[in-house]
Amino acid sequence: MVNGPPAVELVDLRKTYGNLVVLDRLTMRVATGGVHALLGPNGAGKTTTVRILATLTRPDSGIARVAGHDVLGERRQVRRTISLAGQHAALDDGQSGIENLTMLARLTGLSRRAARQRATTLLDRFDLAGAAGRRVRTYSGGMRRRLDLAASLVGTPSVIFLDEPTTGLDPRSRQGLWEVIGELARAGVTVLLTTQYLEEADRLADRITVLHDGRLAAEGTATELKQRFGAQRLELTWRDAAGFGQAAERLGDRVVHRDPARLELAVTTDGSAPDIRRLLDEIDPDRHGVVRFTVREATLDDVFLTLTGRPVTADREVANV
């Protein structure tokens, strides 16, 4: 990480819409450089946080700074520092890829020649040179997202906000965008990424902040969060329904997952060989009931469920705030 002021700093940030409290005295810091993921169910306040940092929404109270600049008192300086790629590509479908980027580069003050050069460089960087002259309406979803990200870099920002950047993309396009985000971080850009794809956060983020009901629920690296809020599980498959039922009754509330149709039970474990042996001896003392077992590592899904009380997919249909 680069020394100096944090890329993002929030202190006691509060935002309401009528009686709905969206951000409730949120305090967080994002160090300069790398990828920082902002996780949380829909309605947790992720998009509102990004909109405040991008000077698009005013907080009710509290402090928000980007690269040391206050988002209320120094809006112009903030806007010169940042770029925002939202959930939907902000592109002119009637123009070609190179026309979109050249237009944006001209708006930043570049000459015609410099703007065209900047657009060409970005199209090449995002593997869009072959489609540079095509109208954007003919682009695939993955191509549009790459072009949108290229557009957000026309002004060479030091901080970029990516709000659900891979929503709706197929796996191949998502993988391509992950590679681009990694390149940005390695080039020294600070990336603040909001996402509900936990694999995305696990793969990309140097640090993760989890929001719940507008508050900071936890933050740390993916490994730290798994150690603190996740748990390894011993997953067991039983030979018959009778043995399954007896084991479930014996374990009681220690069961963290059960699937009667598959005759599967799961209990928490520290993952060590002695603990697994002890659990197997306790659960299946005659060694005839369990036909298969697996030790599953803790995941960010476990962390998410522990911190928010709901699975990550529970609110995908709810409008974001």
Domains and CATH numbers, the chain: 8-96+138-227 (3.40.50.300), 231-297 (3.30.70)
pLDDT band (50, 70, 90) for residue 89: low
- Reading phi first (left if > 0) and then psi (alpha if -120 to 50, else beta), residue 78 is in alpha
What are the angstrom distances between the C-alpha of 241 and each of 17, 153, 251, 280?
Answer: 52, 59, 15, 18
pLDDT band (50, 70, 90) for residue 163: confident
Task: Tell whether the model's pLDDT for residue 92 goes beyond 50.
Answer: yes
- Average pLDDT of the residues of the chain: 88
Contact partners, residue 289, CB within 8 Å, separation at least 6: 238, 239, 240, 243, 244, 246, 247, 283
Interhelix angle 241-251/273-283, rounded to 10 degrees, is 110
Question: Which has the higher per-residue pLDDT, 135 or 143?
Answer: 135
Nearest to 173, CA basis, from 202, 149, 189: 149
Taking the C-alpha atoms of residue 40 and residue 303, their distance in angstroms, rounded to an integer, is 11
Q: What is the pLDDT of residues 185-221, one digit of tens each?
A: 998 899 999 987 888 899 999 999 999 999 999 999 9
**Alpha carbons within 13 A on the beta-carbon side of 105:** 24
Taking the C-alpha atoms of residue 148 and residue 107, their distance in angstroms, rounded to an integer, is 16
